Amino acid sequence: MKLEFLKSAASSEGWPQDSWDEVLFVGRSNAGKSSLINALAQRKLAKVSRVPGKTTLLNFFNTDKRFRIVDSPGYGFAKRSGKEVLRWRAMMESYVNNRQNLKGFVLVMDVRREWSEDEQSLFDLSKNGGHFFHVVLTKCDKISKNKYLNISRKLQKQLDTEVYITDSRTGLGVSALRGSVVSYALTKS
């Protein structure tokens, strides 16, 4: 799957005005969304920062399969004003509630974090909207293999959804995720 940056936008006026299906990448600030997108693209495409909360707009990436990946601002915004957080929240709610192109969610989650109300809310939102939902556990190199496998199994059982174990640096799980995202984006309504 080839990825190309298309544009960044904050409101529906700036979003692409076509019928391409979209897969929304969501997750906490510093969960590794941009690094994962770069791993899927097999090159540096999305901006990666050491400072959480740098993504402030929706970033649209076209694929060669005629759908796009949408990178979103992280939740749990670090060092941002209340007004910025409210603006981002309104942008995300508008996108998720009104975007007909949205087919599914990929929740990018640091494997060391616990499943929380924020993640459950996103899961419920996707299911209520009839969208597919994948969980991608990142930074698996930070804990033992046994521990991340147990976390993966627990989430898979709890949510009855696909859970991927990844490491953007080594490529662990990236190929399987790429194939699954392509498959779901092209076949799920």
Predicted confidence at residue 47, as pLDDT, reads 76
Task: Label residue 170 by pLDDT band (50, 70, 90).
Answer: confident
pLDDT tens digits, one per residue of 47-57: 776 555 567 78
User: Is pLDDT above 80 for 186?
Assistant: no
Predicted confidence at residue 73, as pLDDT, reads 86
Predicted confidence at residue 50, as pLDDT, reads 58
pLDDT tens digits, one per residue of 60-92: 999 998 899 999 988 765 555 677 777 878 888
Q: What is the mean pLDDT of the chain?
A: 88
pLDDT tens digits, one per residue of 141-169: 999 999 999 999 999 999 999 999 998 88
Domain range enclosing 46 = 3-187
Predicted confidence at residue 46, as pLDDT, reads 83
Unique residue bearing structure tokens 């019928």: 19
Count: domains in the chain: 1
Predicted confidence at residue 12, as pLDDT, reads 92
Separation CA 133–CA 107 (nearest Å): 7
The torsion region of residue 66 among left (phi > 0), alpha (psi -120 to 50) and beta comes to left
CATH number at residue 181: 3.40.50.300
Task: Label residue 189 by pLDDT band (50, 70, 90).
Answer: very low
User: Is pLDDT above 60 for 178?
Assistant: yes
User: Please, what is the angle between helix 33-41 and helix 174-187, to 10°?
Assistant: 90
Predicted confidence at residue 21, as pLDDT, reads 94
What percent of the chain is modeled with pLDDT above 90? 59
Contact criterion met (CB below 8 Å) for 6 and 113: no
- Tell me the mean pLDDT in the region 127-150: 94
SS (H, E, C) the chain: CCEEEEEEECCCCCCCCCCCEEEEEEEECCCCHHHHHHHHHCCCCCCCCCCCCCCCCEEEEEECCCEEEEECCCECCCCCCHHHHHHHHHHHHHHHHHCCCEEEEEEEEECCCCCCHHHHHHHHHHHHCCCEEEEEEECHHHCCHHHHHHHHHHHHHHHCCEEEECECCCCECHHHHHHHHHHHHHHCC
